């Protein structure tokens, strides 16, 4: 099923230079725009919103730098373009390190840090788009994306819960 979904999404690549260019843009630049926007929320005067930004960045750091790196080294799953005939639109230097997707972990750890706020759904949609496009350009399988989303969401939700418990006890 993982391969069938990969084929369906990646099979859309190579048919339109506009779509390919847009996909490459989203796969490479969207994460930086997203991070910049989140960083810009630090200028907001509402402490609750700024607190969510701190939780988002801490969650992304824990998820990506610690958890994903451990899993990538243990699993060492080749990227789709290394083992399949794919429409490869993006060269990714992380060969042999497909599972889970680091981009997806960052996107979803940030989005879920805003769980329960008006910011969550727009961020969730951006996170989903930014993750699925990694399949489109040929560097990740759907399971890489799914597990990355679960890790990012779980770490953020745990940090939100811990933060809530800490401040309710005082």
Q: How many residues in total does the chain contain?
A: 170
Residue 92 is encoded by which pair of tokens? 């990714």
Q: Which domains does the chain show, CATH number per domain?
A: 2-169 (1.20.144.10)
Q: To the nearest whole percent, how much of the chain has pLDDT over 70?
A: 94
Residue 170 banded pLDDT, cuts 50, 70, 90:
very low
Write down the pLDDT at residue 49: 84
* Contact criterion met (CB below 8 Å) for 55 and 41: no
Residue 20 banded pLDDT, cuts 50, 70, 90:
very high
Q: Using one digit for the tens of pLDDT, what is the confidence trace for 72-124?
A: 999 989 888 888 888 788 776 656 688 999 999 999 999 999 999 999 999 99
Count of Cβ atoms closer than 10 Å to residue 160 Cβ? 20
Write down the pLDDT at residue 93: 62
Q: Using one digit for the tens of pLDDT, what is the confidence trace for 72-83?
A: 999 989 888 888
* Contact criterion met (CB below 8 Å) for 122 and 129: no
Q: To the nearest whole percent, how much of the chain has pLDDT over 90?
A: 71
State the average pLDDT over residues 140-158. Answer: 97
């Amino acid at each position: 099923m993982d391969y069938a979904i990969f084929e369906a999404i990646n099979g859309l690549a190579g048919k339109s230079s506009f779509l390919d260019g847009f996909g490459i843009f989203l796969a490479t630049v969207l994460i930086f725009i997203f991070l910049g926007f989140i960083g810009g929320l630090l200028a907001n005067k509402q402490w609750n919103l700024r607190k969510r930004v701190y939780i988002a960045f801490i969650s992304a750091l824990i998820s990506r730098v610690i958890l994903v790196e451990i899993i990538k080294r243990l699993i060492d799953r080749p990227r789709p373009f290394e083992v399949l005939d794919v429409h490869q639109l993006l060269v990714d230097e992380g060969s042999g390190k497909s599972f889970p997707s680091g981009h997806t972990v960052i996107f979803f750890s940030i989005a879920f840090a805003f769980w329960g706020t008006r910011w969550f759904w727009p961020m969730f949609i951006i996170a989903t788009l930014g993750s699925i496009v990694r399949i489109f350009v040929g560097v990740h399988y759907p399971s890489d994306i799914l597990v990355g989303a679960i890790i990012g969401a779980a770490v953020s939700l745990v940090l939100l819960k811990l933060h809530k418990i800490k401040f309710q006890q005082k």
